[in-house]
Chains A and B, each alone.
Chain A
Amino acid sequence: MRSIIGVPLDDNISSALSLDALPFPIMRLEVADGETNISALRAAVETAPGAVDALILTIGSDQRALSEDPIDWERRVRVPLRRAFGVLTGAGRRFRQAGHGVIVVVAPSAAIGPAESSTPELVLLRSIVGMAEALRAELQASPVRVSIVFHDGAGGEDLSTRLTNVMATGPLYSLSADISPERINAYFEPLLDAIEQTSAGPPLPDIGPMAAVYDLVAAGAPSR
């Protein structure tokens, strides 16, 4: 039986995803709703009782209107971002010390693809995706795995199967059905076109494994 810590990032957001609906017995992390101190958040994860195998951070879809004037950046971006950082790095430290563990970030698919979310939601989601990918990169040489599970935000999908697989194999990504190849390409094409139009910079010495986390074998990508 796995022992899992669950952390919903924001209880106030109307979420399509409830920790109670996940297919494992989950111990909900007890931290004050307003806690934003990174050291305190880390300590809460690192000292949670029992042998813990995994931590799941869930982020619901933000149902608020696209436009909000003025935007409360503190509440909608800075606070949840700080909480995510404290919790994820707390888990990374704990599992690195233990020599095993899985960290899963469950996030809306709105993070991937052309901008369709509200401004603060997209900023928050992309920041957390960057944070999670970088945490996986930092822990790549260890037995600890970090995965990002995208959900479509509608709440119609049963995540049990995908979460079970992710717990077992620790891939970089698990995508919801709405993240199609077309959607991925639609996002990356303007980026790659812009790079194409740029001249090559001066040659640089090898500075180490940049973007090694995306290597398909290291990412645990399914073989075709």
Chain B
Amino acid sequence: MRTHPIQSGSLGLVTGGASGIGLGIAQALLEAGLQVIVTDVRDDHLEEARTRLGAAGDQVHFLRLDVTDRAQWRAARRFVEDRFGALHVLCLNAGVGVLGSMLEASDADWEWITSVNLDGVLAGVETFLPHMVAHGRPGHIVATSSMGGLIVANDGGVYSAAKFGVVALIEVLRRDLQGGKVGATVLCPAAVNTNIYDHERMRPVAFQQPDVVRDEQALEDGEVFHKQILALGRDPHEVGRMVWRGVEADAPYVFTDRNVRPTLVSRRDALLAFA
């Protein structure tokens, strides 16, 4: 049941919105009649999104936003308040999908992955939740976690640490926001046809290790492998529509693939076996 209807003409903001799942969410919000601010850290992706979403005309806006930078978050809030007055749907989607051994992960790996995947979500909530509660109109926060936020693999410890935290954050937010006009949903996608395989190449200088020479061949092999797998995954636009239906229904969780159910059941059953 829709408990806090978002009106057509409301404003949405999507982080990491210029490619992949973020772009799919932006498209779905536009289809639902919202105005959308597409934010992204990558200028090249923002330019591509400008072309892809051109038909939306003045319903779509573009803003460069590095979710790890608190000053840029404050600027984004000023942009929203000065130009639009109020934000109604906040989609905290920006993330980096870098996997690998946690035993070999560097300080820089940890800082980059957690800064974007967890701190970037916390910063978005901190920046915009008070604004969304204060303006008093219906609103919703969506955070993109992952199936890796509920179950673990053997090569994604840093990623899972961050994504488990995102699931927890939204669960607590739902509890704290109960009875109010702002809802919260966590998206836990499985395989989606995105560019997540090339994230290592966009690692910012601040999170690089100057003394480490990247193994280009290994990187390329990994990209080819993951690109082939992900090409078989869900279409991001379809995932965006799933997210919008989740917002309309005030759903606590949005998944993208029923086939992952047995993996989550296995975690539940492991806990039950020890109870």
Which A positions have Cβ atoms within 8 angstroms of B? Answer: 37-39, 70-71, 73, 77-78, 81-82, 85, 89, 92-93, 96, 112, 114-115, 117-119, 122-131, 133-135, 137-140, 171-175, 179-181, 184-185, 188, 190-192, 194-196, 198-205, 207-216, 219, 221-222, 224
Contacts and interface: CB of A to CB of B under 8 A. Distances in A.
B80 interface: no
B172 A123 contact: yes
Nearest to A189: B268
Closest 5 pairs (CB-CB, A-B): A130-B164, A201-B257, A134-B157, A221-B273, A126-B168
B126 A134 contact: no
B161 A134 contact: yes
A133 B160 contact: yes
Contacts of A129: 164
What secondary structure prevails in chain B residues at the interface with A? helix
B7 interface: no
Contact of B161 (A37, A130, A201, A221): A130
Interface of B: 101-103, 105-107, 110, 114, 118-119, 122, 126, 149-158, 160-165, 167-169, 171-176, 190-191, 229, 232-234, 242, 251-261, 263-275
Contacts of B242: 198
A130 B275 contact: no
B223 to A, nearest CB: 15
Nearest to B275: A181
A133 B232 contact: no
B64 to A, nearest CB: 24
Contacts of B257: 198-201
Contacts of B162: 127
Contacts of A210: 151, 153, 263
A50 to B, nearest CB: 21
B30 to A, nearest CB: 23
A184 B161 CA distance: 20
B274 A221 contact: yes
Given A133-B152, A171-B274, A81 B161 contact: yes
27 contacts: A38-B106, A73-B119, A77-B122, A85-B102, A89-B103, A89-B105, A92-B102, A127-B118, A134-B157, A134-B160, A173-B271, A175-B271, A184-B272, A185-B272, A188-B268, A190-B252, A194-B254, A194-B255, A195-B255, A195-B261, A199-B257, A201-B233, A203-B232, A207-B229, A213-B154, A219-B270, A221-B270
A53 B126 CA distance: 42
B111 to A, nearest CB: 8
Contacts of A81: 114, 161, 165
B151 A214 contact: yes
B199 to A, nearest CB: 18
A215 B154 CA distance: 13
A191 B251 CA distance: 10
Nearest to B273: A221
B165 A205 contact: no
Contacts of B168: 115, 122-123, 125-127
A100 B168 CA distance: 33
B102 A138 contact: yes
B9 to A, nearest CB: 29
Contact of A214 (B156, B172, B267): B267
A125 B169 CA distance: 11
B107 A39 contact: yes
A194 B266 CA distance: 16
A224 B269 CA distance: 13
A138 B152 CA distance: 10
A94 to B, nearest CB: 10
